[in-house]
A = this chain, B = another copy of it.
Amino acid sequence: MQPEDFVQLFRKYLRSRELHITRTRERIAEEVFQMPGHFDVPDLWVKLRQDQIAPATIYRTLELLTEAGLVRKFFIRDRMCYEENLGRPHHEHLICSRCGQVVEFSDRALEERLAEIVEVHGFRHQSHQVVLAGLCSRCQQEEIKTNSEPPGLGGPEARC
């Protein structure tokens, strides 16, 4: 999927809701698509402030993108994060609680079970969020060797 396709889908959504298609909204969608992984509002603002786009508008537009299903919104490591949701396959997150690394995974059996659960309760499935937390293999070893601090790069202070 190309950035333009993503923006096009957003345009389609806006039309369907009879909302205006503006240059600002297109810019935000473009930039969201180009973010490497998950990101938060300050991350995005860094890219958009040079275009004179205000944080308030970023919040408002991210909400639209989320409603459109083009963006997923989730909480990870005490921070609200967003992620473009169409350019790559659906996945969930596994986080090391010590060094902060985030592993993306997808699992067919898990997805099927989740869908079943939702149905059993009479709900129509819309979305879900799975965040697993554990200790990665490297940190398990580090923990045994020493009580040292986790590695600096990619450490717990790393943004989501």
A residues apposed to B, CB below 8 Å: 74-75, 80, 94, 96-97, 103, 105, 107, 109-110, 113-114, 117-118, 121-137, 140
Contact = CB atoms under 8 A, between A and B. Distances in A.
Given A118-B134, A129-B131, 8 more contacts: A94-B118, A97-B126, A109-B113, A110-B117, A117-B132, A121-B136, A124-B140, A129-B129
Contacts of A113: 107, 109-110, 113
Contacts of A96: 123
Contacts of A131: 128-129
**5 A-B pairs closest in CB distance:** A123-B134, A75-B75, A122-B137, A124-B135, A128-B132
A136 B80 CA distance: 26
Which of A96, A118, A134 gathers the greatest number of chain B CB atoms within 10 Å?
A134
15 contacts: A75-B80, A105-B121, A107-B113, A109-B113, A110-B113, A110-B114, A117-B132, A123-B134, A123-B137, A124-B135, A126-B133, A126-B134, A128-B131, A128-B132, A128-B133
Contacts of A109: 113
